[in-house]
Structure 1
Amino acid sequence: MSTTNGMSDRGKVAIVGSGLIGTCWAALFASAGYPVCLYDIGEEQLANSRKNVKNSLMKLEEDGLSRGSSTAEEALSRITSTTSLAEALQGAVYVQESTMESVEFKQKIFAEMDSLASPTTILASSTSTIPASSFTEGLKHRCRCLVVHPVNPPLYLTLTELVPAPWTEPSVVDRAYEIMQSIGQTPIRLQKEVLGFAVNRLQYALLAESWRLVKDGVLSVEDVDKVMSEGLGPRYAFYGPFGVVHLNAAGVRDYCTRYATGIRRVLADAGETPTFEEPEVIRELEDSLQKLLPVERMADHSAERAQKLAELAKLKRKLKMD
């Protein structure tokens, strides 16, 4: 909620790390009405990040996907930046760490944040695979730490995984859940830590079978991608795997009655987990993908993907409103 002068009456949020994910977080929080302080180690990084945040806010406004009622300029006015971690954390009710994907580095930065932040401040990490227990165990206030992992790009994909450590207070998870909802994200709550969390466990299972289909000469790289983009993917855009099977029969019980034996037979035939280092498969993937999505134009491809996801996000928002 915003006050009449355009500034937020919500608690301060600190974003630690001003890379791609950090700037997306800053844009989302500011768009939703939160005052945001962006932290990084150098002014050059922060200057680039402020440009990226502005671009993100303008893009959200242009696509009709802003997370609040204020304009991009109003949202931008809520963002400050600093090279002082103590200053960034002062008065913050919530901190989103988005730095290096390294256990050692996260141990260091979380120890610093734990010593500087208020004992009631929530300390969340954007890590995609590292359990919070591996970098928060020795902290004095470890009960306020958890993983809050977005799906890239979070401007258009709202799913956010909340993964507590064994010692995270349930009330901390509840509050983080509320905060994610308040900025228009779609949080899910893992009841316990599991390696890879939910998104990557499902993603890697799909990747493993895709890899096997190419390695075994069953499908081309292009056709594997078509299975998802022209078949399974559009269904999953609106219903998950359980919703899909429920609709594919007279309910999930009927589906399992009909297909359980076949599912077990297919899964038993799947074979070993790939190493993802097989040179012949990597070469085939690279040859195919380089023709369609040349690395030299990766920035253009990423921008095109973002625009397509923005269009899908607009459609889903419209369908929810209708």
Structure 2
Amino acid sequence: MTRPVGILGAGLIGRAWAIVFARAGIDVHLHDAADEALERARDAIATSLDDLHQAGLIEDPERAMSRIRYDSDLASAMAGVGYVQECGPEDVETKRRIYSDLEAVVAKDTVLASSTSGIAASRFTDHLHHPGRCLVAHPVNPPYLIPLVEVVPAPATGQAAVASTMALMEQARQTPILVNKEVPGFVLNRLQGALLNEALRLFADGVCSAEDLDKTVKHGLGLRWSFMGPFETIDLNAPDGVVDYGNRYGPLYRDVDRERGDDDPWQTTTLAALDQQRRQQLPAQRLGERQAWRDRRLMALIAHQQSLTND
């Protein structure tokens, strides 16, 4: 029987992780030092579970809800857990303190994993007595709708911690990938960053409007990328596979890459112009409404994917 999972931090990501584990039949101990944060989390989780039920993605939201225990005392919350998902602030010194506190209250074999989007685990775990059980398990928001999890061990991380984390993510119906080296941004954000950097350059240079750039991904690249990755895409886009594709289009991509300068695509003026176009399409007061629309669309896509034979 799987030991309970501890979650440190009842914010947006901590609440989402609680849903991931609870719906998979795993007991969850959700900790936050602020009682009001736990109360907000309880209400938000109940709403999200109901939304998942309405979308046909969970059968018994009440049962999932019953698996989550809310506790403002760290030692009590982490008693008996076999794995901790840390969802604290994106700050190295804060994480170092959090991990010292966790090490003092968990069992010696408890895996400590961080949800950090880009901070290497070695930067906030090297001072611990048992750094070999620490790593990063970076989700995509919200993880109960987008299943990818980047598992990123530090040089000191033991194989047992990696293997048990990968297995737990599979049990929780996530899709873990193993990142073999600590690199800034890990894998997902490096890929996303490359696309965003190029999109911002095209926008700043007046090549394309913000709306048309979004259309290019939404009605072009994104349709393929929703069910296969970039390497499979190019493998299927030439008669004889990936080497054939490279021979045909490699020179074009190399020339495009050489065109890119060392300029910063995230200039304040570029972002201000982008914001102006985006606010014309979507007023600021409707951002929350559109975020809810995004989640409903993701639920519909997942429900469709689940109705098909697994490939």
> How far apart in 2 are the matches of 1:257 and 1:29?
45
Residue pair 1:60, 1:155 contacting (<8 A) in 2 also: no
Secondary structure (helix, strand or coil) at the match of 2:309 reads helix
Structure 1 equivalent of residue 34 of structure 2 = 42
Structure 2 equivalent of residue 89 of structure 1 = 78
Q: Please, which of 303, 306, 310 is the counterpart of residue 317 of structure 1?
A: 306
Counterpart residue identity of residue 207, structure 1? L
Residue by residue, what CA displacement relative to the aligned partner does 1:45-67 show, whole Å, maximum 9, x if unpaired? 1011011111222222222223x
Residue pair 2:197, 2:265 contacting (<8 A) in 1 also: no
Residue pair 1:208, 1:273 contacting (<8 A) in 2 also: no
Residue pair 1:37, 1:88 contacting (<8 A) in 2 also: yes
Residue by residue, what CA displacement relative to the aligned partner does 1:148-183 show, whole Å, maximum 9, x if unpaired? 011011121111100001110112111100100111
1:276 aligns with 2:276: no
Matches within 5 A, 1:37-186: 37-66=29-58, 71-186=60-175
Secondary structure (helix, strand or coil) at the match of 2:82 reads strand
Residue pair 1:10, 1:33 contacting (<8 A) in 2 also: no
Secondary structure (helix, strand or coil) at the match of 1:15 reads strand
Secondary structure (helix, strand or coil) at the match of 1:245 reads helix
Structure 2 equivalent of residue 17 of structure 1 = 9
Q: Following TM superposition, by how much is the alpha carbon of 1:10 offset from its aligned partner in structure 2, in angstroms? A: 2.5
Q: Please, which of 218, 223, 235 is the counterpart of residue 224 of structure 2?
A: 235
Counterpart residue identity of residue 182, structure 2? E
> How far apart in 2 are the matches of 1:10 and 1:64?
26
Q: Following TM superposition, by how much is the alpha carbon of 1:277 offset from its aligned partner in structure 2, in angstroms? A: 2.5
Matches within 5 A, 1:194-213: 194-213=183-202
Equivalenced residue count is 310
Counterpart residue identity of residue 242, structure 1? F
> How far apart in 1 are the matches of 2:209 and 2:197?
15
Structure 1: give runs of 5+ residues left out of the alignment. Answer: 1-8
Q: Following TM superposition, by how much is the alpha carbon of 1:275 offset from its aligned partner in structure 2, in angstroms? A: 4.7
> How far apart in 1 are the matches of 2:52 and 2:162?
27
Residue by residue, what CA displacement relative to the aligned partner does 1:206-251 show, whole Å, maximum 9, x if unpaired? 1110011011111111111111111111111011110111111121
Secondary structure (helix, strand or coil) at the match of 1:320 reads coil
1:189 aligns with 2:181: no
Structure 2 equivalent of residue 248 of structure 1 = 237
> How far apart in 1 are the matches of 2:102 and 2:277?
45
RMSD: 1.3
> How far apart in 2 are the matches of 1:319 and 1:30?
25
Secondary structure (helix, strand or coil) at the match of 1:161 reads strand
> How far apart in 1 are the matches of 2:290 and 2:66?
31
TM-score of the superposition, structure 1-length normalised? 0.93
Q: Following TM superposition, by how much is the alpha carbon of 1:290 offset from its aligned partner in structure 2, in angstroms? A: 0.7
Identical counterparts, % of pairs: 43
1:262 aligns with 2:252: yes
Q: Which runs of 4+ in 1 moved over 3 A?
A: none
**Segment of structure 1 superposing worse, 270-279 or 308-317:** 270-279
**Segment of structure 1 superposing worse, 56-65 or 130-139:** 56-65
> How far apart in 2 are the matches of 1:284 and 1:320?
44
Residue by residue, what CA displacement relative to the aligned partner does 1:243-278 show, whole Å, maximum 9, x if unpaired? 111111121111012111121111111222425133
Q: Following TM superposition, by how much is the alpha carbon of 1:320 offset from its aligned partner in structure 2, in angstroms? A: 3.2
> How far apart in 1 are the matches of 2:310 and 2:127?
46
Residue pair 1:161, 1:198 contacting (<8 A) in 2 also: yes
TM-score of the superposition, structure 2-length normalised? 0.96
> How far apart in 2 are the matches of 1:35 and 1:273?
49
Structure 2: give runs of 5+ residues left out of the alignment. Answer: none
> How far apart in 1 are the matches of 2:254 and 2:10?
46
Residue pair 2:200, 2:265 contacting (<8 A) in 1 also: no
Residue by residue, what CA displacement relative to the aligned partner does 1:276-300 show, whole Å, maximum 9, x if unpaired? 1331x12220111112222212211
